[in-house]
Amino acid sequence: MLRNDIPVYVQVRDQLWQWIQEQQLDSQARLPAERELASRFNTTRVTVRQALGQLEAEGIIFRSNRRGWYITPQRLIYDPSLDIGFYNTVTEQGFTPSTETLSKRLIEAPSWLADISGMAEGAPIYHILRRRSVDLRCVVVEHNYINPRGCPGLLDQDTDLSIWLLLREQYDLVPGKRNIEIFPQALTGVEAEALGVNSGSAGLYMQRLTLDKSGAFLEYDREYWIHDALKVAVQVNNN
Amino acid sequence: MLRNDIPVYVQVRDQLWQWIQEQQLDSQARLPAERELASRFNTTRVTVRQALGQLEAEGIIFRSNRRGWYITPQRLIYDPSLDIGFYNTVTEQGFTPSTETLSKRLIEAPSWLADISGMAEGAPIYHILRRRSVDLRCVVVEHNYINPRGCPGLLDQDTDLSIWLLLREQYDLVPGKRNIEIFPQALTGVEAEALGVNSGSAGLYMQRLTLDKSGAFLEYDREYWIHDALKVAVQVNNN
DNA sequence: AAGTGGTCTAGACCACGTG
DNA sequence: ACGTGGTCTAGACCACTTT
């Protein structure tokens, strides 16, 4: 049954993949225990874990703490150039969103933020830290830094919903020019901890710098996403 | 020296990271052999490889075939909404680009491409497959699918440079509306092989659908990037 | 209490890249 | 020919979750 020219863990990966399809496992369905798989495929846990790691990298399965391996749900399609809001984006695609505000405070702008935003170092700025989930699975940790000029008392509002909705409806603030950066980056430190994943897990980093219509600094945010949770879709018109 | 509350591989990772900084290792500098590191840190190769895997996931080091581990160069900053071209983008940032055209053919549009582009299934279409490098390191494999209407004889041109430059200068074709999708995805199969990385390595997938000014299908491309090689930067203007 | 994944050991052989 | 990373074994203990 085993072929010599293909690594065992790749063969295990392929058979596991085939088994998953045969069983028609749903989103969030649990896989058998690693030891069970090891004896089933006549190999060791180390090799099984290598195969599981492959499927994890491919976004087919994910791990949850020490509870086991599960089938990855479909990716959320997300357009960072718009302000539909997390809640609407998720519900429109048939998932159930939830948001926890981990902290919200008025801070003094650190030097790196002053450089980015053009504000003075030490200037007052709102900082909001939130964790968001899709179907009870944590998918992103988000830092928002908001220019308090134009939106006094923002922190007294409910920040578990869309901040952009608040800014638009309550304060009449709308985004103008926007600068977006996206790149793959491992989740480490506080972000990994907040998301309940191992430090070093694959992730996607996204940051947005948003100016208002007059070109003044409005908002800056940093988002740390689980690598398999989203698909970024952007529409651009060239002139 | 060892603490019980922190995993050994994390401690090895931290010490390695510290050592790298002390040595002031340059981009593409080589790390000591795994066995050497194992004895230096008084542990096994398995644990050392776990630490190396962490640094790899963080984009600090990368592996090259069976040659060893190297310091990752700086990320290339890349704006998929523009058409500056790979060559110009790379040289402007002080790196040395190179491109190999792996294949270029006139094919019949498969059904998936017909669905995306709106062309008829089986309609003629140019397919170009290229591999591109930064400072001799392969960073991306790119599939281009181009509507031959408006650019006859494109395949007779030199496709090692920018295709968008060709389309603009030789055929007066410029992009209008553009649809971009980006998400993390493991490199597997032919893409992994072409890039010389292990199947399952972390990567970034990017696709672009480009229409011309009149809304007709112009070009579609799929890019498979090494996860640590680029930073996507997009500018958006909301109205 | 039992089961799970997370970590770790101390070896081994192989395929491949480099001299 | 040699050194390298890539793969693999057969165990072990631990921290944590679930029952």
Q: Which residue of B has its CA nearest to A212?
A: B238
Shortest CA gap A178–chain B (Å): 5
Report which of A196, A193, A205 is spatially closest to residue A230, judged by C-alpha positions: A205
Please name the member of B59, B175, B201 whose beta carbon is closest to the beta carbon of A238: B175
- Grouping H, G, I as helix, E, B as strand and the rest as coil, residue A231 is strand
State the pLDDT at residue B66: 87
pLDDT at A238: 73
Contact call for B81 and A182, based on CB within 8 A: no
| B218, B165 Cβ separation under 8 angstroms | no
Instruction: Report pLDDT for B131.
Output: 95
Average pLDDT, chain A: 92
* Residue B7 reports pLDDT greater than 70: yes
Q: Is B4 helix (H, G, I), strand (E, B) or coil?
A: coil
Where does chain B show beta strands of DSSP type E? 61-64, 68-71, 76-78, 97-108, 124-134, 137-146, 175-184, 203-212, 217-226, 230-237
Q: State mean pLDDT over A182-209.
A: 93
CB under 7 Å from any atom of strand D: which residues? A 7-10, 43-47, 50, 65-67; B 4, 31, 33-36, 45-46, 49, 63, 65-69, 198
Is the C-beta of residue B217 closer than 7 Å to nucleic acid chain C?
Answer: no
CA distances A173 to B157, B231, B234, Å, are 50, 29, 22
Give the domains, in start order, of chain A with CATH numbers: 8-71 (1.10.10.10), 76-232 (3.40.1410.10)
- In this model, does residue B1 exceed pLDDT 60? no
A236/B231 CB distance under 8 A? no
Query: What's the N-to-C CA distance of chain A in angstroms?
Result: 59
**pLDDT at position A199:** 86
pLDDT in tens, A197-232: 988 899 999 999 999 999 999 999 999 999 999 999
Contacts of A53 in chain B (CB under 8 A): 200
Chain B residues near residue A57 by CB distance under 8 angstroms: 186, 200-202
Q: How far apart are CA A2 and CA A230, in angstroms?
A: 36
Residue B5 pLDDT > 60: yes
- Two structure tokens written together for A30: 């649990």
**Residue B189 distance to chain A (closest CA, Å):** 12
Three-class secondary structure of residue A164 per DSSP: helix
CA geometry: angle A74, A77, A82, nearest 5 deg: 165
Predicted confidence band of residue A3 (pLDDT cuts 50, 70, 90): very low
Q: Between helices A45-57 and A8-23, what is the axis angle to 10°?
A: 60
Q: By percentage, how much of chain A surpasses pLDDT 90?
A: 82
pLDDT for the residue numbered B3: 46
| pLDDT band, very low/low/confident/very high, at B27 (cuts 50, 70, 90) | confident
3-state secondary structure of A115: helix
Q: Which nucleotide lies closest to A64 by the C1' atom and the CA atom?
A: C5
pLDDT at residue B2, as a whole number: 41
> For the residues of A188-202, what is the DSSP string, one character each?
-HHHHHHHT--TTB-
Model pLDDT for residues A91-119, shown as the tens digit of each residue: 999 999 999 999 999 999 999 999 999 99
Q: Which A positions 39-58 lie with beta carbon below 8 A of chain B?
A: 53-54, 57-58
pLDDT-derived band at A2, boundaries 50, 70, 90 = very low
Averaged pLDDT for residues B156-176:
91
Q: How far apart are CA A155 and CA B28, in angstroms?
A: 47
Asked if A235 lies within 8 A of B54 by C-beta distance, the reply is no
**Chain B window 45-74, residues with Cβ within 7 A of nucleic strand C:** 45-47, 50, 65-67
Chain A residues in contact with B176 by the CB 8 A cut-off are: 237-238
Answer yes or no: do A202 and B202 touch at CB < 8 A.
yes
Q: In this structure, are residues A79 and A98 in contact, taking their beta carbons and an 8 Å threshold?
A: no
Say how far apart CA A87 and CA A81 lie, in whole Å. Answer: 16
pLDDT given at position A239:
60
Stretch A74-78: mean pLDDT:
96
Quick check: A179 and B232 CB within 8 A?
Answer: no
Q: Name the residue closest to the C1' of C10 by its CA.
A: B44
Q: Does position A1 have pLDDT exceeding 70, yes or no?
A: no
Flag if A58 and B231 touch (Cβ within 8 Å). Answer: no
Q: In angstroms, how far is C18 C1' from B67 CA?
A: 9
Residues of B (74-103) whose Cβ lies below 8 Å from A = 75, 81-82
Quick one: tokens of B172? 């007066």
- A49 vs A171: CA distance, rounded Å: 51
Residue among A176, A178, A184 minimizing CB distance to B184: A184
- Partner-chain contact B179 A204, CB within 8 Å: no
pTM value is 0.93
Q: Cβ A57–B228 below 8 Å, yes or no?
A: no
CA B8 / C1′ D3 distance in Å: 26
Contact of B68 with chain A, judged by CB distance below 8 Å, is answered with: no
Q: Residue B4: which pLDDT band, with cuts at 50, 70 and 90?
A: low
B38-91 per-position pLDDT tens digit: 999 999 999 999 999 999 999 999 999 889 999 999 999 999 988 888 999 999
Number of Cβ pairs < 8 A linking chain A and chain B = 127
Segments in A102-175 forming alpha helices (H): 111-117, 163-171
- pLDDT (0 to 100) of residue A4: 56
Q: Residue A204 and residue B183: Cβ atoms within 8 Å?
A: yes
